[in-house]
Structures are given as structure tokens and as C-alpha cells.
């Protein structure tokens, strides 16, 4: 009995020692991966970025703005998150034009191989084009609403119509891209815009949380200042050089991060805990590029958004001054409209986005709320099941 017990204890001790050795080996391997990934991330962070991998052709470029055409997918199915999606063998007639915001780059439309709105729409049989606003420099400080909505976007749509041989188009705009789409349609009276989709587009600036309250508080003092100081016009601009108002890309990145500082810190702590996992680092680094490498806001657009969209809250009133002589009347928009808002968006509240239903003249208009904050509602892990599916299915019945 004693000999048998001793043998059992010896076997148990051996197994325990082997287990310790295995754990030590795993810990050592994990530590090596952690150090290797940390060094590579520091020296060659671009090695972990996998955004923008869907093949495209640049069909137009003027040095700043360019237009991309995404070719049809060649595979039979694609991966979306952890699921697979069959690729439609047929295409809808009317192309979808993706309209990004400023500051955030166009990569957020093709963020990850398994989380790409471009690939998602292609798989659903849509013909996809994208307007890339480029990276504004100091010499572009003068660019304002009139340039983006009455010159650049019309030029892009002209190119797309010629390339696709299809006059009717659908516009899908995220945040400021949604505003550009609406303002263009209202200004141009373009009857061949069949559909518009806006995602997290800030229509009512007085309904965007604390910032909205501040805007309302500033309205009365600005009226007084306007009456007291010649040359100040809260609808057409301040007597300032637009170069003074340009916001650099790094400042836009920090302002965006400050909307969720706890999430930023938590994300970095999670990275430290998972730095050994290359797939995790790849996902983190790619997502971080969205927020860390933003472009500048031209001074002209800053002035227009502060005075017209913000303090003047013109969009919520249904008309916005493009120039001193031109207005965009949003009740002239008669195409089908789908507006989507994030249920936890701290930048564009649900009420701020829903206001679009009150100002457009469309008979066919739909509003949906999807899960996520300002970035998550458009490109988060739940976006394919919510926002993207809403958009693709809504377009399917309106694109032939």
C-alpha cells in the first residue's frame, strides 16, 4: 500500500513538474512575442496596418481630390467578422458613391479585410465608387462649403457618371460626408440622385449634447457683436484670414479622442496585455490609424461650420447659405432618404441626426438607430449587422 502510494506521489510530482515546464515555456514564448511585437510596432508600425486592401482603380485625380472605382469581387464569399457572406452573382444598376467626412481618411470605408463597408456593398451586388478628399495642406486653407459641395463633389459625380455609363447615382455619406451629400442635392436640384444615406450626420447642432448647449448660449452674444462691430456676419463669415482657422490633423485626432478618454486609456491597457498576439496588434494598429492620422480641416470649412452649421444652425432650419448669393434649400430634396444614428454617439446625438426627416422634401424617408458611438456606428464590430445591413438592404430595392 505504501509502495503504491509512493509511486502515485512520484507520478503526480512528475506531472506537476512537466506542467510547470510547459507553462514556463509558454510564458517564455509569449514574452518573446510581446517584446518582438513591441519593437516592431515602435519601429515599423505600418507593418501591422491592413486597411485599404480592397482592389480599386483611381479614375480621377486633381492633386487633392480623387475618385476610386472598386472592381467587382472575384471570390464566391467573403469574411465579415466571424461570419461568411456569399457574393451576389449579379449587380444592381445604380452605383453607390461613398462620401467620406473631412479629417477622417477614406480608409474607414475599407478598414479591415473582415470589416470593410466597400467589400460588404460589393458582395451585395452594388457598384461602388468613393470620393477621396485627400490631405489638405496650408495652401488649401481657403476651401469651404461652396468648394466641397458645388465644385469638388459635382466634378467627382460627373466623372463617376461617365465611367459607369449610368446617370442615376446613390450617395452614402458618413458624418460631414452626409452633410456634403445633402447640401449638394439641395443646391443642385440634381434629379438623377436616386438615393441618399446619411450616417451620424449632424443636422441640428443645438441637439449635440454639451456642445449644443454651448452653441445656443453663444448665439445671443454673437447677435449683439454682429450689431456692434461692422464686418461681422454670422452667416457669411468673419473678417478673418482662413489660414488662422486651419485645424491641423494632430489636433483633430486629439479632439476626437477626448470625446472618450476612458476608452482611449482602456484600449491602450488592453494592447499592453495582448501585445504578444500579432492578430490583436494588427487590429489595434489598423483601428488606431483611423484616429491617429487624421487630416487637417481647412480654415474655410471651419469658419463655415462654426458660423453656419453651428451657431446659425442653418441646416436644422432647412436652408444653408453657400455663398452670399446662393442658398441650398433642403426641402427641394425629393430622392429617397435613409438616415442612421448611433445610440451612444457623443458627437452627433440621435435627435441631432433625426432632424433631417423634418427638413427634406422626400416622401420616401426612413430613420434608424444602430448600436455604437460616433465611430462604432459606422465602422465598429457591430456595424456589419446593423448600419451596413440597413444600408445594403434599403438600397437593394431602390437601385435597379
C-alpha cell at 49: 496596418
| pLDDT over 90 percentage in the chain | 58
- Most confident option among 45-54, 287-296, 333-342: 333-342
If one looks up domain 49-245+292-396 in CATH, what number appears?
A: 3.40.50.1820
CA 29 to chain centre: 38
Split at pLDDT 50, 70, 90, the class of 19 is: low
Q: What percentage of the chain's residues is helix, strand, coil (to nearest 5)?
A: 50, 15, 35
**To 5 degrees, how large is the angle CA 275–CA 279–CA 281?**
40
Instruction: Report the length, in residues, of the chain.
Output: 400
* H/E element, 328: strand 327-329
Give 230-263 pLDDT, tens digit per residue.
555 544 455 567 778 889 988 888 887 777 777 7
Split at pLDDT 50, 70, 90, the class of 342 is: very high
**To 5 degrees, how large is the angle CA 227–CA 317–CA 391?**
140
End-to-end CA, the chain: 84
Query: Domain segments of the chain: what residues?
Result: 2-43, 49-245+292-396
Split at pLDDT 50, 70, 90, the class of 56 is: very high
CB 172 within 8 A of CB 201: no
pLDDT value at 108 more than 60: yes
Instruction: Tell me the average pLDDT across 168-177.
Output: 97
Q: 246, 229, 226: which is closest to 305 by C-alpha?
A: 246
C-alpha cell at 21: 515546464
Which one has a higher pLDDT value, 71 or 37? 71
Quick one: pLDDT at residue 17? Answer: 59
Question: 3-state DSSP call for residue 107?
Answer: helix
| pLDDT over 70 percentage in the chain | 85
Quick one: pLDDT at residue 234? Answer: 47
Split at pLDDT 50, 70, 90, the class of 208 is: confident
Place of cell 491597457: 269
Q: How many CA atoms lie within 13 A of 238 on its CB side?
A: 19
Amino acid at each position: 500500500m505504501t509502495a503504491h502510494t509512493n509511486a502515485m506521489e512520484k507520478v503526480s510530482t512528475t506531472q506537476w513538474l512537466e506542467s510547470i515546464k510547459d507553462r514556463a515555456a509558454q510564458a517564455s514564448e509569449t514574452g518573446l512575442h510581446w517584446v518582438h511585437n513591441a519593437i516592431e510596432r515602435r519601429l515599423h508600425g505600418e507593418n501591422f496596418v491592413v486597411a485599404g486592401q480592397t482592389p480599386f482603380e483611381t479614375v480621377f485625380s486633381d492633386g487633392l481630390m480623387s475618385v476610386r472605382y472598386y472592381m467587382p469581387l472575384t471570390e464566391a464569399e467573403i469574411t465579415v467578422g466571424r461570419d461568411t457572406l456569399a457574393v451576389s452573382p449579379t449587380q444592381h444598376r445604380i452605383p453607390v458613391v461613398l462620401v467620406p467626412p473631412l479629417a477622417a481618411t477614406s480608409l474607414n470605408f475599407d478598414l479591415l479585410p473582415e470589416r470593410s463597408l466597400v467589400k460588404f456593398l460589393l458582395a451585395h451586388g452594388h457598384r461602388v465608387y468613393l470620393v477621396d478628399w485627400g490631405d489638405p495642406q496650408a495652401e488649401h486653407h481657403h476651401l469651404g462649403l461652396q468648394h466641397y459641395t458645388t465644385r469638388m463633389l459635382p466634378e467627382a459625380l460627373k466623372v463617376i457618371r461617365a465611367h459607369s455609363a449610368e446617370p442615376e447615382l446613390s450617395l452614402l455619406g458618413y458624418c460631414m460626408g452626409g452633410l456634403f451629400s445633402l447640401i449638394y442635392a439641395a443646391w443642385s436640384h440634381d434629379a438623377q440622385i436616386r438615393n441618399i444615406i446619411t450616417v451620424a450626420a449632424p443636422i441640428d447642432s443645438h441637439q449635440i449634447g454639451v456642445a449644443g448647449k454651448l452653441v445656443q448660449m453663444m448665439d445671443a452674444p454673437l447677435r449683439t457683436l454682429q450689431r456692434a462691430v461692422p464686418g461681422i456676419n454670422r452667416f457669411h463669415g468673419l473678417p478673418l484670414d482662413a489660414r488662422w482657422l486651419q485645424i491641423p490633423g494632430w489636433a483633430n485626432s486629439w479632439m476626437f479622442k477626448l470625446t472618450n478618454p476612458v476608452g482611449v486609456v482602456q484600449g491602450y491597457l488592453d494592447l499592453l496585455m495582448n501585445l504578444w498576439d500579432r492578430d490583436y496588434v494588427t487590429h489595434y494598429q489598423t483601428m488606431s490609424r483611423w484616429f491617429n492620422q487624421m487630416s487637417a480641416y481647412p480654415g474655410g470649412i471651419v469658419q463655415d461650420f462654426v458660423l453656419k452649421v453651428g451657431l446659425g444652425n442653418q441646416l436644422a432650419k432647412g436652408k444653408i447659405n453657400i455663398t452670399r448669393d446662393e442658398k441650398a434649400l433642403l426641402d427641394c430634396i425629393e430622392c429617397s432618404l435613409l438616415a442612421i444614428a448611433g445610440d451612444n454617439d457623443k458627437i452627433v446625438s440621435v435627435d441631432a441626426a433625426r432632424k433631417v426627416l423634418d427638413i427634406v422634401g422626400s416622401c420616401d424617408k426612413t430613420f434608424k438607430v444602430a448600436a455604437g458611438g460616433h465611430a462604432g456606428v459606422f465602422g465598429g464590430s457591430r456595424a456589419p449587422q446593423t448600419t451596413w445591413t440597413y444600408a445594403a438592404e434599403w438600397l437593394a430595392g431602390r437601385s435597379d
